[in-house]
Structure 1
Amino acid sequence: MEKITSNQNRQVKAWTKLKTKHGRQKAGQYLIEGWHLVSEAINYDQPIVTIITTEKRLASDGAAFKDRFDYVVVTDEVANHIADTKTTQGIFAVLSIIPTNQVAANFASGGWLLLDQIQDPGNIGTMVRTADAMGLSGVVFGTGTASQYAPKVSRSMQGSQFHIQIAEADLSEWINEYHEQGYPVYGTELNPDAVALDEVPAQANFALVMGNEGNGMQASLLALTDANLFIPMKGNAESLNVAIAAALVMFHLQK
C-alpha cells in the first residue's frame, strides 16, 4: 500500500493540476471528490484510474474499492491540498475523460437537454439532476457552457452525470443531426412567435435548449428550433430561474 505524505510529491502535483481546464485537457483525466460521487462512479462503472483516500476513509469505506481499484493513501494535509472544498471528506478518484465521439452513436433518440452558455454550476447541476430524474436520455454541454469536469460542476451534479449520457459539443451541429432523425427541437424564449408550453404535447423524442442565465439563447440557435416555448405564469414574476424553467418544461414534455 502506497502512502503519500508530502504536497511536493509528483502525483500530488499532477492531481492538483486536474482542478484546472488545462490540466484536465493535458492529462485526459479529471478529479472527483467526496464519497457520494466516488461511490456513484464505482457503482456505475466509470473509468476510474486511481482512488485517493485518507486512512480514516479507507477504514470506513475501503471495502467498496480496495480489492477492485488501484488506490493511494494520503495524509489529511495532502487531502486538504488537493481538495476543492473547504472541508474535505478525504476521498477522491481520478477518472479518464471519454471523448464525445465514443458515445455520440447513442444520441439518436429520447429526450435531450441542451445547455447554451450556461455558466452557474448550481444551475447546471440542478438541470442535469432533473434530466436524470425525468428520465431524459442525456444532456449536451454547448460551447460556452461550464465544463462538466470542472470541480464545482461535477459536485453539483451529485452523480447524475453517471446515470445519463453527457457530452460537450457544438449545439448547432447537434441540432442539425437531431433534426435528421425527424425529431423536434424546442427553444425557450418569450417572443411574439413563442408557443405556450401547455399547447405542446408530451413526446418520446425531443431536444430542449436552455439559454444563458442573463442573455438567453443565442440567436443562431433560436433560428434552428422548431418552436420556442414559454411558460404561462399566473402571478406577477417577470421570469424564472433557468433551472426551474428547465425543470417545468422537461416535466411537461417528457412522455
Structure 2
Amino acid sequence: MHLAVAASELLCTVSSFKMLTATVFELKFESDRELLFKPGQFISLVIPGLGPHGRDLRRAYSLASAPGCRPLQLCVKRVSGPGSRFLSELRPGDRFRAFAPYGDFVFRPKSARFCFVTTGTGIAPVRSMLLSPEYRSEERSGTICLLGVREEGEILFRDELAGIPGLRFVPCISQPAPSWNGFHGRVSDYVRQLGSEFPWAETEFYLCGNSRMISDVKAILSEKGVQKSAIYQEIYYR
C-alpha cells in the first residue's frame, strides 16, 4: 500500500457498532476534522501500547463509505489480530486515533465498463467506489461486482449492492447449502466462464481480497488478453 495524498492525524469517535455476519462487523465513526479521500483508500489505525516495548501499533483498514458521506465506515472481520480485536471492543462514544488517507487502489475510470472481483471484506473499498460520486456521476451499465464467500450468510451489503442501477451483483458461494440457487464456485470460476462475447478489452478490473484469488484471476485475465494497465489490485491477506 502506498501514500496517495498527504495524510493527517484524526481523532475519531465511534458512532455505532453492528455485527453484519457471524464474523464481520461494521464500525461507524466521526472524525474531528474533515477527511478528504478517494474511493478505495484506507486509514491507518493506531493501536495504543500493543507493539514491542509498549509502543503503538498501526493497522490498515479500507473505508467502506463513499467520500463525502458521514459517518465514516469500516467493515472488519473479527479475527485474533490486535487491530481487529481492538476495533471489536469499541462502542459508541469510544475514541481512537488514525492517520488518513492512504492507498493507490482507487477508482480511476478510463472506460465505460467495470468488473469488480472481491472476496470477504475485500468488498469494503469496492463499496466505497460503487457509492462514490465518481462512479455515480454517469449512467453506468454492464458493471459486474463479484463477492466470493464460503456460505450465503457471509454475503455483505447484499441488498444495497443488488439495488445499484446498472450493476450485476453476483455472490459466489464456494460451500453453499442445498437451498442456494445462485452461483456455486469461486469468483475465479465465474470470471473464467465468461465467454468470448464478454468485452474483455473494453473492461477495467478491480481486484480486492486474498492473494490466491488475485493471482488466479490475473492469470485468467492474461489468458483473455486483458492489458495489465486495465487491472487494479489490493491484496487484503495472504
TM-score of the pair, normalised by structure 1: 0.31
TM-score of the pair, normalised by structure 2: 0.33
Q: Decide which structure has greater strand share.
A: 2
Q: Decide which structure has greater helix share.
A: 1
Question: Considering only CA atoms, is the larger Rg found in Structure 1 or Structure 2?
Answer: 1
